[in-house]
Amino acid sequence: MKQYLEDLKKALSELEVPLKEVEEILNDHREMIESAIEDGLKETELVEKFGDPSIVAKAISHDYESGDDVDEEQGYRLYKSYEPSSDQFDLEFKSINDALIFKTTKGLNVEVYVKHLTHEEDYNIEYNNNVLTIKNKVKKLFGIPKSRKVKFKVMVPATLTLNKLKAGTVNGKMHFKGCQSKQLELNSVNGHIHVKSWIDHKSHISTVNGNIHLSDLTTDEFHSSLVSGKGKFKNTTVTTNAFIREVSGNVTLNEFTAESLKYHSVSGDLSGKEVYPKDLSLKSVSGNIHIKNKKKDHSINILKKSTLSGKIVIDA
Amino acid sequence: LNAQFKRGILELCVLKELLEKDMYGYEVISHISQHLDVNENTIYPILRRLTKDGFFETYLKESNQGAARKYYKVTSQGFKHYLYLRDEWDAFIGGVYQILNKGGNNNEAILRRFEKSTK
């Protein structure tokens, strides 16, 4: 067993799995092998039963790699650069596991960068009539696409007018940073959605299990729906109506201004600091709502405040 | 079968086993290998990834032999993932059966139709 674990350790280190992870993987294997030996496995059958350490390491590290972290912007390669045909731009992104970073650039071309794109034929990537389309063509086989998780980074010239940006994913993460658009429509099942420093007109952002993090968003219309994901909205300004719907995850608002704010929840809690809508409407079944404001010169008109068993406290 | 596809099925099986009760790594492996021909090294990466994705939580518990074992427990998010995979599986396998059972699934009847068409 000692030799097996040593070989596994060496193989994992060679694949650049972080040391902390290696320790954990080795402990898990020590435990599993001990259990197997108690169960009657002979030391000589180890490799046969548990597999060659180098293959085991590969299977684990492959997983480790695809545990995606889009924040890390290293290692992308330029896939294609398109010259814009007008000053308008639309995005349509549809994927299962792929991650997306969307940003502006000082350059003049629309650029698509990729990481881990090993099966180009599985994707439909094109730029036509001002619309950039990135679609995973692979039919969903049981929720598991044939391809690996690809990471896309789209850089759009800041001079373009962004019309409709529509992006949907099942498991991928999406980051949208520093742009101005007319319509932002983001959907995800398990993937997290981050929007930072953004000016929009009509924003629809929804997830099932994924979290939604917004910071420095200014928009005219805001609609967000979550099921069990957490919502963190920081420094958000909505010039007309904001509607947030939550089922069981919690929502945190920090500096949230709107003409009207409607919040509906089943069992999730809402905790707000510096929340200043002119009109406020709150509805929950068992979730608690707590809003705490420091500035006293803003009056909030409470249109509705209903809960079945939750607690609503407005400290303003 | 395609490796990814097989992996998806195994994910579903691992989730289901752990929904019934919390288990330690080797226990999951031996439960699954009673029914399916799988290697130890295919189950561990699944346990690890699903834990990372927040579908399992782990805790340590002493065993009879003394050494503590890592137990895996399905989270509520894991349960949702199970429902999602289960739906996908039912839809897929339902489609497969619809194809296979077209015109009846009796092998003799299929043979008769086949012979008639090749005459």
Would you call A31 and B9 a contact, using CB atoms and an 8 Å cutoff? no
Nearest 10 degrees: CA dihedral of A266, A271, A277, A278? 80
Q: What is the mean pLDDT of chain A?
A: 88
Residue B85 contacts A where some CB pair is shorter than 8 Å: yes
Per-residue pLDDT, A69: 42
Q: What is the mean pLDDT of residues A182-199?
A: 94
Long-range contacts: A267-274, Cβ < 8 Å, 24+? A268/A226, A269/A310, A270/A246
Of A27, A51, A142, nearest to B39 by CB-CB distance is: A51
CB-based burial label for A19 (10 Å; 0-12, 13-18, 19+): exposed
ipTM, interface predicted TM-score of the complex = 0.81
Question: What's the farthest any 2 CA atoms get from each other in chain B?
Answer: 71
Would you call A228 and B44 a contact, using CB atoms and an 8 Å cutoff? no
Contacts of A209 in chain B (CB under 8 A): 77, 80-81
Would you call B41 and A50 a contact, using CB atoms and an 8 Å cutoff? yes
Query: B51 to chain A, minimum CA–CA distance in Å?
Result: 11
Per DSSP, helices labelled H in chain A are 2-14, 19-38, 46-50, 53-66
Contacts of B53 in chain A (CB under 8 A): 67, 190
- Residue A110 contacts residue A89 (beta carbons within 8 Å): yes
Contacts of B45 in chain A (CB under 8 A): 59-60, 62-63
- d(CA A285, CA B98) in angstroms, rounded, equals 43
Whole-structure pTM value? 0.58
Find, in chain B, the residue whose alpha carbon is nearest to that of A46. Answer: B40
Residue A10 per-residue DSSP state = H
Contacts of B11 in chain A (CB under 8 A): 144
Per-residue pLDDT, A148: 62
- Residue A289 contacts residue A307 (beta carbons within 8 Å): yes
- Residue A142 contacts residue A90 (beta carbons within 8 Å): no
Question: What percent of chain B has a predicted confidence (pLDDT) above 70?
Answer: 96
Residue A190 contacts B where some CB pair is shorter than 8 Å: yes
Per-residue pLDDT, A143: 54
Which of B44, B55, B74 to mutate: most A Cβ within 10 Å? B44
Residue A55 contacts B where some CB pair is shorter than 8 Å: yes
- d(CA B56, CA A189) in angstroms, rounded, equals 18
Query: B119 to chain A, minimum CA–CA distance in Å?
Result: 37
In tens, the pLDDT along B12-38 reads 999 999 999 999 999 999 999 889 888
Of B24, B29, B41, nearest to A59 by CB-CB distance is: B41
In tens, the pLDDT along A234-251 reads 999 999 999 999 999 899
Contacts of A145 in chain B (CB under 8 A): 4
In tens, the pLDDT along B28-82 reads 999 998 898 887 778 898 999 899 888 999 999 988 767 789 999 999 989 988 9
Q: What is the mean pLDDT of residues A129-148?
A: 72
Residues of B numbered 95-114 whose beta carbons fall under 8 angstroms of chain A's beta carbons: which are they?
none
Would you call A142 and B76 a contact, using CB atoms and an 8 Å cutoff? no
Q: Which residue has the tokens 């699903």?
A: B50
Task: Tell me: pLDDT of A127 over 50.
Answer: yes
